[in-house]
Structure 1
């Protein structure tokens, strides 16, 4: 049961791609506990849904044209043996709570509504003298389904029994600081002060899924065909293990809606194991039928992003006690401001030249300054309830191999250029892809922010892209997409954002000087993080400059939907902090002009700059952006 802000994290609604030759959609709903005595709002168990509300959900869905489908129908559609009906919906029940049999199953039979039930098999097998910590209470064997009940539901023909793992619904030590992270994807940090090897991790996951599969097959009479990943935590290798065991259909929870989620695949496709899991809508906070209807009708594209870009260099301290205090101060401040996203630095740049001298995760290509990124990212996600993007260089690396660094580094022709590696050399792509894969293996995060080092001057590597500005721009985009692919093997469904300088927007001819342009960025990335920083550009009038920039962006199709205006909070010419009132005023002005997505950089969480009140007013994603008392 993941933690979430509100009863839906953005992007859970799975409006999936369609099958050839027509388009179809699939809505997958994720339920947990169905019982009579759930408080209308504020129940201690946020994942419990009242029996009355559940019945009303079924009524509303049927009355509004949703058509219930079975797991078999989804499998057939995925394999190209059929198509899903319009407004298809699949119900799923996680964990294996007994209320699925006592409260949900009678309604499923009454409505003739198919569903997927995915128990944690170790909980079904729970000894009478043991308890499972579950939300606000501990549960006993009496709270979980029995094998006889699971068999009866399966034999009804309505319910598919899947696996929710045998013993992966728990946290394990995920870093040297003791953070408990999801067992299915974590390389365990052991008492011997080493991480679990890839081979040991694979063996652990395979043994767990084999145990779950064997128990279900022995007690139900059919091996599971579905894996529902605990905490929505999985990766491509884990899905490959599940597929090899016959569980070719997998579900996460907080995956983003994506057209690739449900694609046409032949039964013999070698790529089936790498398909991403299907996203689901988490039913959270006991929504009544009005809540459900409002959520299903809500246009997710209109949600505004509020992002703060954070320097992990300012969190790091050689003194472990001070470092711990810095983490606490940062997490508390982000919680109090309430943005939707944090773009967290995953590399170390102590000399401030824009290139990574080290990284904050284990790497064989780069020095590790501290094993810190996973710790801070996890704290921000779980305590401050924000989505975390790993802020990473694209070309700006200072490799541990100094000879290789000299061979690959671009001979910059201008002053104050970020040290960068040659993107046209295949070794650069191979090395940087490895670094991104290492990040994803070691850490838990939601997206990538590609740093502002991804540029090329017109006299740098002139043969790159045959010297054609648009081709050079696209070649760098393609480079970043390869990095995303490398990271997605360990962290599927990553969102992407990329920094864009303002000048190519205001002066399109300057694409030749940067290998950057707004239109292809909008097409390639989920968000373009436009550096809307007038002082950095030496603009005479900040407000007038921002208005001109906003006008240029909003004239471009998709500009409002996919561009985030990243404001500056420090005048680096001084340097001196800018007044918090300026951040507040600029954010309001831009919103009035039609800008949807806002962010700022930097945040001095130690010194409290910008002031909390101004930062919260400008960047809070809460409906009521004030401190909760």
Structure 2
């Protein structure tokens, strides 16, 4: 059973504060990632390919990687989009629909710099060129903190808005902050989505719950070696010492397991 990886980015810009370092990937770093992914032994696929694999049993290539970007920052159009087109890489952008054409004020309240979000003209252009748009709620709330009805409206209305604006189905969802309850998961399913992405790290296979897909978070300051290590081990945090600790742990486990056999 082939496993696949979903990568998660946010802003494709230089960070403007310490808070943004984790979430803002400079364009030259992003381009280096995309170039390496395209020219090394990886197959860049869309969430539609993953959807068909999980829900319809279609084949998926080995070493499949899907690119996602959360929130819908304007730099996804100005900086990421030309790079994705250059390397012919499909991607999915999860939109916070109530803030499109405006700003990320759910973040500025926590001290983040003000950033513009995409507008519908930019989204419609990208939609014609291999970029899929998924829903990320209307206002980017922590869904488990809302009452059931309000959470349902956040999920449902974001899907409805995207479908009305683009004239096509919106099938994919990402949980804001990666937070969800069992009730939220069922609401996403009941609203008609076919896949939902979490922020839990790790690999995916066709056996994965389609409403709990795992993603690997790409930090803004990740050089290629860190991203490659994350993809190798299915982790969010990479370091020079991680492989040593990982293989030492496996060796010790194997040693003690063999030693305790009758």
TM-score bin, normalised by smaller chain: 0.7 to 0.9
- Within the alignment, does 1:30 sit opposite 2:37 as a pair? no
**Pair 1:299–1:151, CA change in 2 (3 A):** closer
**Pair 1:212–1:558, CA change in 2 (3 A):** farther
C-alpha contact 1:131 1:138 (8 A) present in aligned 2: no
Q: Any residues of structure 2 matched to 1:200-211 within 5 Å, and which?
A: 201-211=147-157
**Which consecutive unaligned segments of at least 5 residues does structure 2 have?**
236-241, 247-251
C-alpha contact 1:34 1:50 (8 A) present in aligned 2: yes
Aligned equivalents of 1:205, 1:221: Cα separation in 2: 24
- Within the alignment, does 1:263 sit opposite 2:235 as a pair? no
Aligned equivalents of 1:214, 1:125: Cα separation in 2: 17
- Displacement of 1:132 in angstroms is 4.0
- Within the alignment, does 1:219 sit opposite 2:178 as a pair? no
Aligned equivalents of 2:45, 2:143: Cα separation in 1: 28
Aligned equivalents of 2:127, 2:215: Cα separation in 1: 22
> How many residues are treated as equivalent by the alignment?
248
Aligned equivalents of 1:552, 1:117: Cα separation in 2: 41
Q: Any residues of structure 2 matched to 1:171-570 within 5 Å, and which?
A: 183-186=142-145, 201-257=147-203, 262-263=206-207, 275-298=210-233, 554-557=255-258
**Which consecutive unaligned segments of at least 5 residues does structure 1 have?**
1-22, 171-182, 189-200, 265-273, 306-550, 560-629
Match of 2:117 in 1: 144
Aligned equivalents of 1:237, 1:216: Cα separation in 2: 23
Aligned equivalents of 1:117, 1:299: Cα separation in 2: 22
- Structure number with the higher helix fraction is 2
Counterpart secondary structure, 1:79:
helix
**Pair 1:554–1:53, CA change in 2 (3 A):** same
Match of 2:131 in 1: 159
Aligned equivalents of 1:147, 1:85: Cα separation in 2: 33
TM-score by length of 2: 0.82
- Within the alignment, does 1:116 sit opposite 2:92 as a pair? yes
Match of 1:73 in 2: 49
Q: Please, which of 35, 41, 50 is the counterpart of residue 26 of structure 2?
A: 50
CA RMSD of aligned residues (A): 3.1
Counterpart secondary structure, 1:82:
coil
- Displacement of 1:43 in angstroms is 7.1
Aligned equivalents of 1:299, 1:98: Cα separation in 2: 29
Counterpart secondary structure, 2:127:
helix
**Pair 1:124–1:552, CA change in 2 (3 A):** closer
**Pair 1:275–1:69, CA change in 2 (3 A):** closer
- Displacement of 1:282 in angstroms is 0.6
Q: Deviations over 1:468-494 (max 9, x none)?
A: xxxxxxxxxxxxxxxxxxxxxxxxxxx
Counterpart secondary structure, 1:139:
coil
C-alpha contact 2:68 2:93 (8 A) present in aligned 1: yes
Kindly name which structure, 1 or 2, has the bigger radius of gyration based on alpha carbons.
Answer: 1
C-alpha contact 2:19 2:112 (8 A) present in aligned 1: no
